[in-house]
């Protein structure tokens, strides 16, 4: 769990590692939250430890990839067993857990959505999004235009960037002629004055539906009853966009419009899947049936890069989507699929649906209490253990990125105090204005650790405000 040089067993000091990173590593493949970047040495449960063995309570858990905690014994043991049985095999051959995992996900979806479907694997979330784009284009006879949401995030590969609303991910890489049309997402905290969240949701759906009103609205040919766009990519809860939770009626109303005009709904569960919200898939909270689901991250608890998609049979059967339609050397590798199978078994056996809901309610109550003591917390919300706190100026509304940046710096410095000892806090920054703490703690976080998190956030906010 330590960092070693070529002389195995010798720990390389932080200063040397940072110097080597500055000289030899591309900065293009990472995000440095603080300067100098933070180095961690090992993790356990909800905690990470730096070189000085300072404990850091992690409320980010690798962007929700480590839903089941660092060093989860059951999952680590699954990985160790698989290494001794079949650690690797070329992806053109079959092995047991690949087939078991595909069946488990597909049967679960059939029971929930009433649709037969199949599962397709890849190695990362963005790659699974790319595969889904191929799937959709193929099913829709080559149509390559998509709808997506303002504030949405689906990855940084070329295809995924085209359906991610942030221009900064496309800016330096040429013209994206087939980028998505980005549609407003109902953001309850920043809704227009005078509207309830539900009225705002209705207005967003009406604005979208208007695109199909006549041929002159731009996307619909009424003479042949055909849309120019193939699918709508949705995150049920916006991830990088700040864990924005739409009103419950939103997706039902949106799906009616999509079905009316023959547009597919592709649901991105890469960050919210695997019980983050208290359901296997976050879309289950909203009462709609997707045409495809893209997943990744917590499928293997961060122990192996494995992702995939589920799609209904008409879209993905071997006749319409034949062998070789996509390929990755490492897709459906046995280490990953054995872990994925165990994650799903464990989730149902340990009743994460019930436990996550209870812990999420406890965490949200703590955030609401914290909000009463700090007027800079403009909004708190949550669904399961996907929670948000929007940091504002003292008017409770104007975004305050600078204050949140200061909070992140202090948290990662490990200078908070608990029981007379130094302690740190790992936070994630998200939101349209980069002023939202997006909380994705371990689903195994204890109620005591949640209480500690609230106490540390109270201390952190007080320190940050004094330092501004």
Burial 345-368 (b: 16+ CB within 10 A, else e): ebbeeeebbebbbebbeebbebbe
Q: What is the CATH number of the domain that holds 33?
A: 3.90.1150.10
CA 17 to chain centre: 29
- Token couple for 375: 């007027």
Same domain, 127 and 251: yes
Residue 303 pLDDT grade (very low, low, confident, very high; cuts 50, 70, 90): very high
- The sign of the CA dihedral 180, 433, 55, 380 is negative
Give the H/E segment covering residue 42.
Answer: strand 40-44
The residue from 322, 349, 376 where one domain ends is 349
Mean pLDDT of 166-183: 90
Asked if the structure places residue 2 within a domain, the reply is no
Asked if the structure places residue 7 within a domain, the reply is no
* pLDDT computed for residue 465 by the predictor: 97
Q: Within 10 A of 465 (CB to CB), how many other CB atoms are there?
A: 14
Asked if the structure places residue 66 within a domain, the reply is no
Same domain, 287 and 200: yes
Structural domain of 114:
77-349
pLDDT digits (tens, 9 = 90+) for 309-348: 999 999 999 999 999 999 999 999 999 999 999 999 999 9
Same domain, 45 and 111: no
Distance separating alpha carbons of residues 273 and 270, to the nearest angstrom: 6
Distance separating alpha carbons of residues 391 and 402, to the nearest angstrom: 9
Distance separating alpha carbons of residues 350 and 26, to the nearest angstrom: 41
Percent of the chain with pLDDT over 70: 98
Q: Which single residue is written with the structure tokens 């960092």? A: 3
| C-beta separation of 382 from 360 below 8 A | yes
Residue 9 pLDDT grade (very low, low, confident, very high; cuts 50, 70, 90): low
Same domain, 155 and 291: yes
* pLDDT computed for residue 176 by the predictor: 86
Residue 34 pLDDT grade (very low, low, confident, very high; cuts 50, 70, 90): confident
CA 224 to chain centre: 38
| C-beta separation of 229 from 142 below 8 A | no
In the predicted model, is pLDDT for residue 179 greater than 90?
yes
- Token couple for 340: 């994925």
SS3 label, residue 271: coil
Asked if the structure places residue 70 within a domain, the reply is no
| C-beta separation of 304 from 339 below 8 A | yes
Percent of the chain with pLDDT over 90: 92
Asked if the structure places residue 339 within a domain, the reply is yes
Least confident of 21-30, 256-265, 283-292, 373-382: 21-30
| C-beta separation of 466 from 98 below 8 A | no
Asked if the structure places residue 265 within a domain, the reply is yes
In the predicted model, is pLDDT for residue 209 greater than 50?
yes
The residue from 349, 370, 386 where one domain ends is 349
The residue from 349, 366, 399 where one domain ends is 349
Same domain, 367 and 337: no
- Could you give the number of structural domains in the chain? 2
| C-beta separation of 57 from 456 below 8 A | yes
Phi, psi (5° rounding) for residue 60?
-115, -40
Bridge partner list, 183: 149
| Distance (Å) of CA 93 to CA 100, 128, 368 | 14, 20, 52
* pLDDT computed for residue 460 by the predictor: 98
In the predicted model, is pLDDT for residue 376 greater than 90?
yes
* pLDDT computed for residue 31 by the predictor: 79
In the predicted model, is pLDDT for residue 362 greater than 80?
yes
Q: Within 10 A of 449 (CB to CB), how many other CB atoms are there?
A: 19
pLDDT digits (tens, 9 = 90+) for 46-59: 999 999 999 999 99
Same domain, 333 and 420: no
Same domain, 411 and 322: no
Same domain, 319 and 241: yes
* pLDDT computed for residue 440 by the predictor: 98
In the predicted model, is pLDDT for residue 3 greater than 50?
no
| Distance (Å) of CA 231 to CA 1, 140, 218, 239, 263 | 44, 9, 16, 20, 5
Mean pLDDT of 121-143: 97
| Distance (Å) of CA 127 to CA 87, 130, 233, 239, 324 | 22, 5, 15, 17, 15
Asked if the structure places residue 316 within a domain, the reply is yes
| Average pLDDT across the chain, whole number | 95
Q: Within 10 A of 76 (CB to CB), how many other CB atoms are there?
A: 14
| C-beta separation of 67 from 459 below 8 A | no
Asked if the structure places residue 69 within a domain, the reply is no
Same domain, 287 and 327: yes
Task: Name the E strands within 366-455.
Answer: 377-383, 386-391, 416-418, 421-426, 429-430, 436-439
* pLDDT computed for residue 7 by the predictor: 47
Which pTM does this prediction carry? 0.95
pLDDT digits (tens, 9 = 90+) for 85-109: 999 999 889 999 999 999 999 999 9
Residue 10 pLDDT grade (very low, low, confident, very high; cuts 50, 70, 90): confident
pLDDT digits (tens, 9 = 90+) for 186-208: 999 999 999 999 999 999 999 99
Distance separating alpha carbons of residues 397 and 379, to the nearest angstrom: 8
pLDDT digits (tens, 9 = 90+) for 416-458: 999 999 999 999 999 999 999 999 999 999 999 999 999 999 9
* pLDDT computed for residue 1 by the predictor: 39
């Amino acid at each position: 769990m330590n960092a070693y040089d070529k002389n195995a067993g010798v720990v390389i000091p932080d200063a040397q590692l940072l110097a080597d990173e500055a000289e030899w590593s591309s900065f293009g493949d990472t995000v440095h939250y603080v300067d100098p970047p933070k180095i961690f040495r090992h993790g356990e449960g909800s905690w990470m430890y730096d070189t000085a063995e300072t404990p850091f309570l992690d409320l980010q858990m690798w962007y929700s990839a480590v839903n089941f905690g660092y060093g989860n014994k059951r999952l680590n043991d699954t990985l160790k067993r698989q290494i001794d049985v079949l650690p690797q095999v070329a992806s053109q051959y079959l092995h047991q857990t690949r087939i078991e995992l595909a069946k488990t996900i597909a049967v679960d979806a059939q029971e929930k959505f009433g649709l037969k479907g199949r599962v397709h694997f890849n190695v990362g979330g963005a790659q699974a999004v790319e595969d889904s784009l191929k799937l959709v284009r193929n099913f829709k006879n080559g149509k390559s235009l998509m709808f997506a949401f303002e504030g949405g995030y689906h990855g940084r590969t070329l295809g995924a960037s085209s359906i991610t609303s942030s221009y900064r991910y496309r800016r330096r890489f040429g013209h994206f002629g087939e980028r998505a049309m980005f549609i407003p997402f109902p953001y309850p905290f920043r809704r227009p004055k005078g509207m309830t969240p539900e009225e705002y949701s209705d207005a967003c759906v009406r604005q979208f539906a208007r695109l199909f009103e006549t041929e002159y609205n731009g996307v619909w040919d009424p003479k042949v009853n055909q849309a120019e766009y193939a699918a709508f990519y949705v995150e049920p809860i916006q991830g990088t966009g700040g864990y924005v939770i739409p009103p419950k009626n939103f997706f039902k109303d949106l799906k009616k419009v999509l079905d009316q005009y023959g547009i597919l709904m592709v649901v991105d569960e890469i960050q919210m899947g695997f019980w983050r919200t208290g359901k296997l898939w976050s879309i289950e909270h909203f009462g709609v049936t997707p045409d495809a689901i893209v997943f990744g991250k917590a499928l293997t608890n961060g122990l192996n890069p494995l992702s995939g998609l589920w799609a209904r049979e008409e879209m993905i059967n071997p006749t319409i989507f034949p062998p070789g339609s996509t390929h990755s050397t490492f897709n459906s590798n046995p280490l990953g699929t054995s872990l994925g199978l165990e994650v799903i078994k464990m989730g149902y056996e340990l009743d994460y649906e019930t436990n996550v809901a209870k812990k999420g309610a406890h965490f949200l109550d703590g955030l609401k209490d914290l909000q009463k003591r700090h007027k800079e917390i403009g909004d708190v919300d949550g669904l399961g253990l996907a929670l948000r706190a929007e940091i504002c100026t003292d008017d409770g509304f104007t975004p305050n990125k600078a204050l949140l940046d200061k909070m992140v710096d202090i948290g990662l410095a490990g200078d908070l105090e608990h029981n007379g000892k130094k302690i740190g806090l790992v936070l994630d920054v998200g939101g349209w204005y980069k002023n939202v703490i997006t909380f994705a703690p371990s689903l195994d976080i204890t109620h005591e650790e949640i209480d500690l998190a609230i106490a540390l956030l109270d201390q952190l906010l007080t320190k940050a405000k004094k330092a501004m």
